[in-house]
Amino acid sequence: MTSTLQDVAAVMSPKADLDIVFRIKANFEISSWHSKSSDETDVSGNVISVNPKLPILAAIAYTNRNNEYEVRVYYVAKKNFQLAYQIADNSGLTANVVKTCGGTLQLKLYYQCAANKLHFSYNASDNKKENWSIRSDVTN
């Protein structure tokens, strides 16, 4: 990759005692690796292609409301660049998960929008469904 944009993300799975690394390859496909030691093992699976105009990804690992361990990877889809989210072509991408005072899990995905303002999409997750919302210009 010749881009300076983020193309690697890693998470830790405490239940499996496993590091998982996601990487965007030069052909804009996501590869994943895992390890329990200093040696990584390639994980084969379905091919996921990212958008070549914005080859970035973010990953999070957490225990969901059903007490199941989840790993999620977020990226800009190959054909959906700048649709609903108006992601800037020089944006980064990062993700986080927090538990609110009421015990609800919120998955948060931060990115730069086309208007040069920091936006984030968030998901207030419960046992039944996921509802994604957008908060614009969070630094203002």
Give the mean pLDDT of 97-124: 78
DSSP secondary structure letters along 58-106:
EEEEEE-TTS-EEEEEEE-BTT-TTSTT-B-TT--EEEEEEE-TTS-EE
The predicted-structure confidence for 37-62, as pLDDT tens digits, reads as follows 766 677 777 788 998 888 889 999 98
Residue 1 maps to a domain: no
Residue 69 maps to a domain: yes
> What's the number of domains the chain is made of?
1
Residue 118 maps to a domain: yes
Residue 31 maps to a domain: yes
Q: Which amino acid is at 97?
A: V
The parent domain of residue 59 ranges over 8-135
At residue 1, the pLDDT reads 43
Q: Which residue has the higher pLDDT, 11 or 14?
A: 11
Check which CATH number belongs to the domain holding 74 and give it.
2.120.10.70
Q: How far apart, in whole angstroms, are the C-alpha atoms of residue 76 and residue 91?
A: 11
Residue 36 maps to a domain: yes
Residue 140 maps to a domain: no
